[in-house]
């Protein structure tokens, strides 16, 4: 099996294990057993289990990006705020459809954050999320003829913080209308940081 295919299979297996059993169940042996591979396969594809878990975080981020990007790419009537709301709403739909996956993401992110407790300020594992959301904001602005009054990366940090809040509160109460209302609030707040191009 080519190393890239092996990596993808191990990432999928790690995500399946964390979704089903939580991070505590994601031992190297459990992951390779899920993938149907020998134990040595993990170290052939990744330097360590933590590197595999980091790649798993990136895979979930990519899935979230694809969900949010689809309505933006398709075009939405109603301008920038409606476009942002549609992309964010697609994320909520993903959350509702795959709650264990989003919970796995949070567990993996908290695990990665524990390693940063004594380190100086830096984006850490959220760096990829900020970059993905910033790119989506730029795409939405371009599609609707707007420009951002604040740097997209700054706005992305605000958005990621609110999306984490939307995720954790929905996981706690399963109040989907409230989650979608918060999405509309976030879309309006972000759109207020833009101007229409002449």
Residue length, the chain?
198
Do 95 and 151 reside in the same domain of the chain?
A: yes
DSSP string over 70-105: HHHHH--TTHHHHHHHHHHHHHHHHHHH-HHHHHHH
pLDDT confidence tier of residue 2, bands split at 50, 70 and 90: confident
Q: Residue 191 to residues 7, 149, 151: CA-CA distances in angstroms?
A: 39, 10, 13
Q: How many CA atoms lie within 13 A of 150 on its CB side?
A: 13
pLDDT confidence tier of residue 71, bands split at 50, 70 and 90: confident
3-state percent breakdown (helix, strand, coil) of the chain, nearest 5: 80, 5, 20
Chain-centroid distance of CA 25 in Å reads 22
DSSP string over 4-22: HHHHHHHHHHHHHHHHHH-
pLDDT confidence tier of residue 116, bands split at 50, 70 and 90: confident
pLDDT given for residue 195 in this prediction? 95
Residue 1 has pLDDT above 90, yes or no: no
Average pLDDT in the 87-110 region? Answer: 94
Average pLDDT in the 92-116 region? Answer: 92
Percent of the chain with pLDDT over 90: 81
Do 120 and 96 reside in the same domain of the chain?
A: yes
- Give the tens place of pLDDT for each residue, 143-177: 999 999 999 999 999 999 999 999 999 999 999 99
pLDDT given for residue 121 in this prediction? 87
Give the domain-ending residue among 46, 64, 81.
46
Do 163 and 190 reside in the same domain of the chain?
A: yes
Q: 17 is in which domain, residue-wise?
A: 1-46
Residue 198 has pLDDT above 90, yes or no: no
d(CA 138, CA 91): 17
What 3-state class would DSSP assign to 192? coil
Do 12 and 89 reside in the same domain of the chain?
A: no
Q: Residue 38 to residues 5, 6, 35, 41, 101: CA-CA distances in angstroms?
A: 15, 11, 9, 6, 25
Residue 27 has pLDDT above 90, yes or no: yes
Do 91 and 129 reside in the same domain of the chain?
A: yes
Residue 113 has pLDDT above 90, yes or no: no
Residue 7 has pLDDT above 90, yes or no: yes
Residue 119 has pLDDT above 90, yes or no: no
pLDDT given for residue 74 in this prediction? 82
What 3-state class would DSSP assign to 149? coil
């Amino acid at each position: 099996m080519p190393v890239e295919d092996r990596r993808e299979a191990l990432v999928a297996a790690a995500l399946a294990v964390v979704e089903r059993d939580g991070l505590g169940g994601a031992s190297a042996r459990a992951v390779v057993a899920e993938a149907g591979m020998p134990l040595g396969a993990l170290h052939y594809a990744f330097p360590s289990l933590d590197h595999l878990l980091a790649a798993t975080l990136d895979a979930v981020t990519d899935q979230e990006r694809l969900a949010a990007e689809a309505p933006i790419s398709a075009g939405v009537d109603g301008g920038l705020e409606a476009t942002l709301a549609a992309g964010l709403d697609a994320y909520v739909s993903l959350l509702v459809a795959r709650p264990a996956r989003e919970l796995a993401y949070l567990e993996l992110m908290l695990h990665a954050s524990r390693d940063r407790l004594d380190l100086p300020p830096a984006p850490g594992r959220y760096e990829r999320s900020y970059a993905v959301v910033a790119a989506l904001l730029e795409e939405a602005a371009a599609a609707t003829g707007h420009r951002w009054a604040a740097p997209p990366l700054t706005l992305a940090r605000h958005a990621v913080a609110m999306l984490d809040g939307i995720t954790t509160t929905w996981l706690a109460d399963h109040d989907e209308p409230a989650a979608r209302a918060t999405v509309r609030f976030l879309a309006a707040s972000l759109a207020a940081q833009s101007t229409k191009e002449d």
